[in-house]
Structure 1
Amino acid sequence: MTKGQELETLNRRQCLDLLQGVRVGRLVFTEDALPAVQPVNFRLWHDDVVIRVAGGPKLAAATDNQVVAFQADELDADLRTGWSVTVVGHAEPITDVDELVELSGTFLQPWVDGRRDHFVRIRTEKMTGRRFRERGLPQYRSTDHDAVTS
């Protein structure tokens, strides 16, 4: 018999901690006036999400300074546990030479062949997170007590 599940709302620090542990998420943006969702590998950089793109609609969203959403999660369908974090903010191309040097040399290598010469930052304007856990298990603990949204 199952004890039931609880939904825990996560604060900003908890969301950032969880995002540090995964490398793939989903970018939600507008393409041809319609919503589009694509999986992307990413890294957190100064608490913002950074992706590396070849061009096309993802770069166009950044060049147009569009509001986009980014979502990452880890779920266990059998245990009905896991977490989900969503970041909403304006996408912008990274053009500062010092920032590009730092990003190019440290992380965010493409998964597939081909050039990905553009870095896109999603400014974290709003962040929300939830954890699904079995009732009675300890809650997520963090030393920071930021609000759920920022």
Structure 2
Amino acid sequence: MTSEKAPAATSSKAHPIEHLTKPECWDLLKEQVLGRLAVVVDDHPDIFPVNYVVDAETLVFRTAEGTKLYGSTSNTPVAFEIDGYLPETAKAWSIVLRGTVMQIKEPAQIQTVENLMLQPWQGGIKNHFMRVRPLNLSGRRFQVVNADMWRTPLSDARRASFE
């Protein structure tokens, strides 16, 4: 039996990793609306796409009854992650927020977050407002190798229709 090791993560001078400041991370979080929330439920990890809004250096999302609600309020840590790619610079970025979640229950706070116009993507009753309080926020940006492979129909002007 042979064991294979994963290659060590490296950063050469030709492709440095830029560590983002907390304000840069918050700016990128504010520009996006969809991320992934990782929770631990019954001793195993689960991950859910959630639409969110930034409110005073916290993240707010809505949810219904279920795994996401119970997993995020069981006093276990959560992680939240978003990624992006800028085709004009061929740079990608990733933001990871680790923290805890509390359900927003006070009527005044609920009114405040309702004014943030946070609408769920999926239909159904999503009457639980949740706030992720960060314990750690980090981000990085890096040049994408073989950037032409990562172009999408929406970001690639060469594939745009003629008008």
Partner residue, 1:6: 16
Paired residue for 1:85?
95
For residues 137 and 73 of structure 2, the distance between their equivalents in structure 1, rounded to whole angstroms, comes to 22
1:24-66 alpha-carbon deviations (Å, 9 max, x no partner): 0000001221011111101111101111001211111233222
In the aligned structure 2, how far is the partner of 1:33 from the partner of 1:115? 27
CA distance in 2, matches of 1:106, 1:35: 29
Q: Which amino acid aligns with 2:82?
A: A
Match of 1:48 in 2: 58
After TM superposition, give the deviation of residue 96 of structure 1 in Å.
1.6
Aligned to 2:78: 68
Q: Counterpart of 1:7 in structure 2: which amino acid?
A: I
TM-score, structure 1 as length reference: 0.80
Deviation at 1:98, TM superposition (A): 0.8
CA RMSD of aligned residues (A): 2.1
* In structure 2, C-alpha distance between the alignment counterparts of 1:33 and 1:59, rounded to whole Å: 16
Q: Give the partner amino acid of 2:40.
A: T
Q: Which one has more relative contact order, counting CA pairs under 8 Å at least 6 apart?
A: 1
Give the Cα–Cα distance (whole angstroms) in 2 for the partners of residues 50 and 106 of structure 1.
9
Task: Give the corresponding residue for 2:49.
Answer: 39
Contact 2:48 2:68 in 1 (8 A): no
Give the Cα–Cα distance (whole angstroms) in 2 for the partners of residues 5 and 56 of structure 1.
43
* Aligned equivalents of 2:78, 2:137: Cα separation in 1: 12
Runs of 4+ displaced beyond 4 Å: none
Aligned to 2:111: 101
CA distance in 2, matches of 1:68, 1:51: 13
Deviation at 1:81, TM superposition (A): 1.9
Aligned residues: 132
Which of the pair is proportionally richer in strand?
1
Give deviations 1:74-128, integer Å, cap 9, x for gaps.
0368x75211000001111111211101112332101111010001111111001
Q: Looking at CA atoms only, which structure, 1 or 2, has the larger radius of gyration?
A: 2
Q: Distance in 2 between matches of 1:32 and 1:80?
A: 40
Classify the secondary structure of the residue corresponding to 2:115: helix
